[in-house]
Amino acid sequence: MPTAPPLLEISGLRVQVEGVEILRGVDLRVGTGEVHALMGPNGAGKSTLATTLLGSPSYEVTAGTIRLDGEDVTHWGTEVRAKAGMFLAFQYPEAISGVSVIQFLRQAMSARRGIDLSVIEVRLALIEWMDRLGMDPAFAERYLNEGFSGGERKRNEILQMALLEPRLAVLDETDSGLDVDALAVVGRGVHTVRASHPEMGVLVVTHYLRLLEDLVPDRVHLMIDGRIVESGGRELAARIESDGYEAWRS
């Protein structure tokens, strides 16, 4: 029997921004239900990869492919990728004045499912997940990310992930700027969502071992200067934490 393709397969990916090459031949595979961590110093290209995966027009793919379940999505638009089940949690989620959390989620969930969901349907799902994630129900009526603390913004991203039920979730430095308690909340939130959606693949971009203690990645990848220079188990993250990045710099 033929082997099923990986959930995500990146092959020879090269990306430039305003004529400057950032990614220089990235190869990466994430299987169904797997958690992969991408680590590396500032400027290595981690966030460029995350944003490229969701089709930002600011990033030009000059070579290579991105496949989702074997289908080439390299040149698909952001909305098409999102509808197909790709999700990006931003490092710095933007505030949208005048648009409540529930209004935003109704639009996003309707687009993802290809049907016009009612406010009641969305509210019921929202209430259930806010309870599971330990969130105040009043949160649903607040304007999206407006006046939110860093922890609230990140928890809102996890809430979106739960309701949109993506096949692949890319978390771009979801732990950025969070204290230890907020990190634990995010880690538990992702774990709770994965328990309900075990086939969801996760690629988490992080600087810190602390978040990986909650997520327990299947594979850890180290990116230096736009390339993945080493992959391994969780012990690789521990080596990076203790030794820094110098040992891998050419």
Name the more confident of 92 and 197: 197
Write down the pLDDT at residue 148.
Answer: 75
Task: Inform me whether the pLDDT recorded for 66 exceeds 90.
Answer: yes
pLDDT band for 27, please (50, 70, 90 cuts).
very high
pLDDT(155) > 90: no
pLDDT attached to residue 250:
58
Instruction: Give the model's pLDDT for residue 241.
Output: 85
Using the predicted structure, report yes or no on whether residue 225 has a pLDDT greater than 60.
yes
Listed by start position, the domains of the chain span 8-91+166-248
pLDDT-based confidence at residue 230 (cuts at 50, 70, 90)? very high
| C-alpha distances out from residue 58 to 77, 87, 234, Å | 12, 18, 33
Q: Per-residue confidence at 1, pLDDT binned at 50, 70, 90?
A: low
pLDDT of residue 177: 61
Q: What is the C-alpha separation between 80 and 151, in angstroms, rounded? A: 29
Q: What's the mean pLDDT in 91-114?
A: 81
pLDDT of residue 216: 82
123 CA to centre of own chain: 24
Nearest residue to 77 (alpha-carbon basis) of 53, 113, 96:
53
pLDDT in tens, 105-154: 898 888 888 888 888 888 999 888 888 888 888 888 887 777 777 777 77
Would the pLDDT of 181 be above 90?
no
Measure CA 131 to chain center: 22
Among candidate residues 91, 95, 92, the one with its CA nearest the CA of residue 205: 91
Query: What is the three-class DSSP state of 20?
Result: strand
- Of 234, 222, 162, 156, nearest to 196 (Cα)? 162
Count of residues in the chain:
250
The pairing of strands 168-172 and 86-89 is parallel
Q: Find the helix or strand (DSSP H, E) in which 122 lies.
A: helix 119-132
Q: What is the mean pLDDT of residues 181-202?
A: 82
42, 92, 93: which is closest to 223 by C-alpha? Answer: 42
For residue 108, give the nearest of 91, 74, 85 by alpha carbon. 85
Mean pLDDT throughout 34-62?
A: 92
**What is the rounded average pLDDT for all residues in the chain?**
86
Q: What is the second-level CATH architecture of the domain 8-91+166-248?
A: 3-Layer(aba) Sandwich (3.40)
Quote the tokens at residue 247.
């040992």
Confidence at residue 245, expressed as pLDDT on a 0 to 100 scale: 87
Which pLDDT value is given to residue 224? 94
- Residues 165/112, Cβ–Cβ less than 8 Å: yes
- Pick 70 or 180 by higher pLDDT: 70
Residue 92's pLDDT band, with cuts at 50, 70 and 90, is low
